[in-house]
Amino acid sequence: MAVFPFILVKKPSMKKDSVLIRHEIIHLRQAVELLVIPFYILYLVNYIINRFKYNNHHQAYMHIIFEREAYHQERNTTYLQTRRLYAWMRYFKRGN
């Protein structure tokens, strides 16, 4: 879990999980782009809208635009070096 500016993990061994760490660093970059507090507000608003739309916690979470980017790119080892500003906006699709 990323809580700016930290990445919090349940077990010390998780610090070595490069996919998890990359996923969370993507969230930290998203937070910086939106000046931190607005990121968390938009994240929550997007979840609430999705919760009403899908009536399911997991689907609502998986459709948060910030999570869509992080999950889609977490295995891309060069993504953090090539990621453009506001890249999460590409994952916003009406109707999804």
Q: How far apart are CA 11 and CA 81, in angstroms?
A: 27
Q: Which has more pLDDT, 93 or 88?
A: 88
Kindly list the domain boundaries of the chain, sorted by start residue: 18-91
**pTM assigned to the model:** 0.94
pLDDT tens profile 11-59? 999 999 999 999 999 999 999 999 999 999 999 999 999 999 999 999 9
DSSP result, the chain: -EETTEE--SSGGGGG-HHHHHHHHHHHHHHHHTTSHHHHHHHHHHHHHHHHHHS-HHHHHHT-HHHHHHHHHTT-TTHHHHPPTTGGGGG--TT-
Give 95's pLDDT tier (boundaries 50, 70, 90). Answer: very low
pLDDT tens profile 68-79? 999 999 999 999
CB atoms within 10 A of CB 65: 19
